[in-house]
Amino acid sequence: MENDIELEEPITKVNCQNHLSSVEDALYVIGGKWKLKIIIALQEHGSIRFNELQRIVAGISARVLSNELKDLELNGFVKRIVHSEQTPVVVEYISTDYSKTLKTVIMALSEWGRTHKNNIREDVFEK
Amino acid sequence: MENDIELEEPITKVNCQNHLSSVEDALYVIGGKWKLKIIIALQEHGSIRFNELQRIVAGISARVLSNELKDLELNGFVKRIVHSEQTPVVVEYISTDYSKTLKTVIMALSEWGRTHKNNIREDVFEK
DNA sequence: CCGTATCCCGATTGATACTG
DNA sequence: CAGTATCAATCGGGATACGG
């Protein structure tokens, strides 16, 4: 990165690396097929049990859901609460305050996905 | 379209399915390890050639980059321009206007990733 | 009911080499 | 330079079965 500095857009190139790096960091934590969907389900349902969650996040298997929940718990998005006083044991999952910081991300993605779907239905494929 | 006042339960469940569905649609197109990063690089560099792009999007292989670019072109995020008058052939990739609609998504993700990284560096893991 | 443990398959990807 | 071809390896994830 030495000789192609044209002084045209020096800041842009820095911004690019910043964005790339930050987006990469974000995707590392919330990327993948399921994580955001689980977070959304958790946020909007308040408290959910395992099987209910599996029903809401359509298509996910118990094994994958279990693994994803562990990941999300480690990263502070989910709290796992065990009611061991009951039998059989009841386990609830709730979203944490930290997961609320994803609100703008989720809104942006949701909004974009919605309009994109409409665009496709209309005429994206006709030039 | 509607007010975002936090209501109680009934609307929430509908919103959940809406969000889940929309986010799913979004991730279908821009999900995965590379797509957003390629879009970012393209947006901020204006016009890039293949090998330059491969350098910027660190870690991507030529094969994967080639496939991703085809996908992105099909979905209207990238335009491929071939200058066949030159030898060897020069190919540039530029981002389309449609990819600009992702601006808020990228900003939200980038911003979140940045603060998340800072949080981790500090004390997220100590309660 | 709430998961975990295996097994296993197909898709994704990295490395390398090669072509126009 | 701009990719493509091929192969090997990895990995996410489904199916199933089982234990607490």
The structure tokens listed for B77 are: 């995020």
Cβ of A51 less than 7 A from strand C: yes
pLDDT at A36 over 70: yes
| CB-based contact A20 B26, cutoff 8 Å | no
**How confident is the model at residue B38, as a pLDDT?**
95
pLDDT number for residue A2 = 44
How far is it, in rounded angstroms, from Cα A40 to Cα B9?
Answer: 15
Q: Which amino acid is at B50?
A: F
What pLDDT score does A1 carry? 44
State whether residue B25 sits within 8 Å of chain A by CB. yes
Dist CA B4 CA B18 (whole Å): 14
Q: Domain residue spans in chain A?
A: 34-126
> Does the beta carbon of A16 lie under 8 angstroms from any beta carbon of chain B?
yes
The number of residues in chain B equals: 127
* Segments in chain B below pLDDT 50: 1-2, 5-8, 127
In this structure, are strands B47-49 and B78-83 parallel, antiparallel, or unpaired?
A: unpaired
Residue with tokens 């009841």: A90
pLDDT digits (tens, 9 = 90+) for A57-98: 988 999 999 999 999 999 999 999 999 887 788 999 999 999
Mean pLDDT score across all residues of chain A: 85
Q: Return the pLDDT at A12.
A: 66
Could you tell me which CATH number the domain at A34-126 has? 1.10.10.10
Chain D positions under 7 Å from a protein CB? 1-6, 12-17, 20
Model's pTM, two decimal places? 0.86
Q: Is the peptide bond before A10 cis (omega within 30 degrees of 0)?
A: no
Closest residue to B23, CB basis, from A20, A21, A106: A106
Residue found under tokens 């049990």? A49
Q: What is the pLDDT of residue B39?
A: 96
pLDDT top residue among A116 and B17: A116
The reply to whether A111 touches chain B by the CB within 8 Å rule is: yes
> Would the pLDDT of A51 be above 50?
yes
Query: Do residues B27 and A109 touch, judged by C-beta distance below 8 A?
Result: yes
* Residue A70 approaches strand C within 7 Å at CB: yes
Residues B118 and A110: their CA atoms lie apart, in Å, by: 26
Mark residue B49 as left, alpha or beta (left: phi above 0; alpha: psi -120 to 50; beta: remaining).
beta
How many residues does the structure list for chain A? 127
The rounded distance, in Å, linking the Cα atoms of B28 and A92 is 29
Classified as helix, coil or strand, B94 is strand
Count of helices and strands (H, E) across chain B: 6, 3
In angstroms, the CA A64 to CA A49 distance is 15
Q: Nearest nucleotide (C1') to the CA of residue A91?
A: C2
